[in-house]
């Protein structure tokens, strides 16, 4: 984690798993028209931000992923209590096909905002790029 945080550095999956665990059922809505409800477990994004001393007045978070995907969020979405850094699905470790080892779960956003295979998080006041699909013309905010 880097950017506008007082404790930048690498945060391991074990450190994220040590944060309070949240279990929730979430409806994932795809821009292609399908949806599915899944049971997910993980830590609130807000918990990691607090742990790292993030400046929550910064308006944006940017995420990079192992598959070269990237995504951004507004801070209000990141702080929403149901926004998770997910590492479990149906009580078991998240599988590769669902974004292991860590993915976003964002019940208030369209599915492409829930990036998989997370590798980095930056808290920032400037967006250099908006998101993989957003940079190709899809809506940036896309709330449900």
* Per-residue pLDDT tens over the stretch 102-143: 999 999 999 999 999 999 999 999 999 999 999 999 999 999
- What's the whole-model pTM score? 0.97
Q: pLDDT per residue over 45-102, tens digit each?
A: 999 999 999 999 999 999 999 999 999 999 999 999 999 999 999 999 999 999 999 9
Q: Please, which pLDDT band fits residue 41 given cuts at 50, 70 and 90?
A: very high
Beta strand ranges found along 11-144 (DSSP E) = 21-29, 35-44, 60-65, 70-74, 84-89, 92-93, 103-105, 118-124
pLDDT of residue 87: 98
3.40.190.10, 3.30.1130.10, 3.90.420.10, 3.40.1390.10: CATH of 2-126: 3.90.420.10
Domain ranges for the chain: 2-126
């Amino acid at each position: 984690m880097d950017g506008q945080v007082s404790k930048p550095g690498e945060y391991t999956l074990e450190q994220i798993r040590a944060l309070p665990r949240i279990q929730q059922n979430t409806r994932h809505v795809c821009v292609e028209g399908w949806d599915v409800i899944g049971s997910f477990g993980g830590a609130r994004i807000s918990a990691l931000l607090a742990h790292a001393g993030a400046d929550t007045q910064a308006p944006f978070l940017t995420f990079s992923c192992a598959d070269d995907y990237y995504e951004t969020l507004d801070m209000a979405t990141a702080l929403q209590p149901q926004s998770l850094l997910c590492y479990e699905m149906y009580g078991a470790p998240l599988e590769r096909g669902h974004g292991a080892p860590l993915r976003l779960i964002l019940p208030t956003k369209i599915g492409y905002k829930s990036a998989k295979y997370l590798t980095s998080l930056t808290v920032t006041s400037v967006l250099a790029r908006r998101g993989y699909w957003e940079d190709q013309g899809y809506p940036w905010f896309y709330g449900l």
